A and B are shown apart, each in its own frame.
Chain A
């Protein structure tokens, strides 16, 4: 029987992974929609993007809140340390999320032609992952100043450290890569050939920077946190799997066939890398202040959260399946006939 705190962190990490994928699709789609509009290519793909995004945008947001509430619930110390340290970057992320969510709804349900709304929607799509990635950087340790009764962020250390900038770069580039490959898949389902052609180019274009920034971030991690780096090196097979999935996806994209499989490979690529990173981080949630064992909530609350979680999943999985059936895998809907 594995302990509840390990179960908790595994599920939460899985959720964060889920958020990484769906949010990347959403963030990148916003950027591509704006980019296409400003280069007068919007007639090719914006209908496709809005058709996918309209029914799911709120769901994306909830993934994030879910992760956040889950981690604060299972590990209340995280609220104290991350909350105190990330007041400014966290609030900026919140403001950007607020701008993004509401302006998407305004543009989508209200006015169809406003370029400013679309700009805000596109720009926030890149700034949000950048500001959120700060939390990952901070978790590596060395960026938090702790005095007797106060915790604060060492901005100078953060902004002068190459690790933080490489993580920001990785976040932005991955968003564009994941999003364009998913949208290429969606376009191929919709049999929208001109959009597919454009999106396939985007996907191929963003693939190389993805692998380069990932490698850069990994090297800087080695310089900053030796323990984490070594743990990840011990998981070499997971990292190898990640690269292998990336190669398969590239080959499929390059050949221009099986876009669904290509996207699944990209999901698996990020899955193995993300879990190699996460497992390597163990046992720390915040190096060196919070460990999984030391920061866990009381067993009764842990148990209640697990029960609530299982109960919630029993409600949510059928409902999500319904959404997918109605919107994502209903060929007529995807093609715009419904």
Chain B
């Protein structure tokens, strides 16, 4: 691979998106968990759940800040680093980008109100209602931005004429063939990851500081969400594979190291390639790839051989795909194991070993998000708009982009370090139990005052 302007353009965008993906996923996933926790808390009149919503939203806002600034960075980098891409496609993708900003604006406004109005309404459900625009705004921003990614994979809604996109139909471009499966997979995996993050934190805290009612409830709630969204996410993954098999077979073929078109194709797990491009040391699951791709063990699956050499995605994506899918199934298995222990009374679901496994769900789920995202991007190579524009045609020609890579690298390192430090300080000296006690005491005092006045 040549180390040139195009290379550094890819690096700087890849780094920004890879970093942003963490916070974007939190931004979509966590609000739903906050909404659920507050609702249960009001419904059951259980202050533990209200405290959960409070603590989660307090940590959430820190990650939102990083998400906002990295999101701003990536949106500007689209024009700064990929000017030719925006010149060509700006005509077509402006609508979803525009609506994404609206959705985010909407979310930001209500998040601001939500954080500063915990005790301002007499009816607690009014405060809970504020979570709806937050969850909806976060979800819709994900939907809109995913349609843009869908467009890059499955461009549509225009006519190519003399190097320009004409007769543009922006709505049709948004509703391209990739949109449904991508949106489904992005949302289900974000909700899964949000839940897994909170489950991991609860388990980790109980490992370090012993069990407590608060963390037990948090773990139960998050693991239920992991189970539910784990199932939905598996379905979404299946829908995505079937979509790829039909509309973007080279992406699936590269991920599965499926070189020759054949019926009853095997599914290949892991392994490596020798100099002659033969697969060594892999697990072959007979006919399973055909089944995954078309729901039929004998269906014909297109191989990479059918595509010109310079239009094939890098073969590295095989590992990314396997890790992503493997972690997805592992999360589902962990959730099943947890609830097996919960319902099987003889076993203690909070034993050390299980807690250790549960704590792993948080980092694992983020790894899966990163692998999945990388697969989605690398699997589209060499195209930036599949079939119309190659990545190297889209990049800036300015050599300064190399310097900018290092500047942005420094920025993200600083942001990551300080973000972690701030979060630690925020929760380290303020365990949930202590906060619960002071909160209850304040409540008693104020109600006593109210009683005296009456």
Contact = CB atoms under 8 A, between A and B. Distances in A.
Interface in A53-85: 54-56, 58-59, 61-62, 64-66, 68-70, 72-74, 76-84
B100 to A, nearest CB: 8
A98 B105 contact: no
A91 B407 contact: yes
Interface string A98-128: 1111111110011100000000000000000
A90 B72 contact: no
Contact of A312 (B99, B166, B425): B99
A79 B66 contact: no
Contact of B65 (A55, A82, A101, A298): A101
B314 interface: no
B93 to A, nearest CB: 9
A326 B109 contact: no
A102 B92 CA distance: 32
A65 B75 contact: yes
Contact-size category for A: 35 or more
Nearest to A51: B116
Interface string A204-222: 0000000000000000000
B111 interface: yes
Contact of B108 (A62, A69, A80, A326): A62
Contacts of B166: 298
A83 B407 contact: no
B101 A76 contact: no
A298 B91 contact: yes
B174 to A, nearest CB: 10
B170 A300 contact: yes
B18 interface: no
A97 interface: yes
Interface stretch (A34-42, A227-235, A248-256, A317-325): A317-325
A165 B289 CA distance: 63
B95 A301 contact: yes
B58 A109 contact: yes
A315 B61 CA distance: 23
A94 interface: yes
B103 to A, nearest CB: 9
A72 B86 contact: yes
A244 interface: no
Contact of A73 (B66, B71, B98, B411): B98
B61 A59 contact: no
B411 A99 contact: yes
A139 interface: no
A330 to B, nearest CB: 9
A291 interface: no
A249 B127 CA distance: 40
A19 B191 CA distance: 33
A94 B98 contact: no
Interface stretch (B202-210, B294-302, B345-353, B393-401): B393-401
A98 B116 contact: no
A88 interface: yes
B104 A62 contact: yes
Contact of A308 (B99, B106, B112, B116): B99
Contact of B61 (A99, A105, A338): A105
Contact of B400 (A66, A87, A99): A87
Given A94-B77, A319-B133, A84 B92 contact: no
B357 interface: no
Among all A-B residue pairs, the 6 with the closest Cβ atoms = A73-B94, A76-B90, A105-B65, A79-B86, A110-B422, A83-B79
Given A58-B111, A69-B75, A109-B426, 11 more contacts: A55-B112, A61-B68, A68-B76, A80-B84, A80-B87, A94-B76, A98-B73, A102-B69, A102-B419, A111-B422, A322-B109
14 contacts: A59-B105, A72-B90, A73-B94, A76-B90, A76-B94, A79-B78, A84-B83, A87-B80, A100-B69, A101-B72, A105-B61, A105-B65, A106-B422, A110-B425
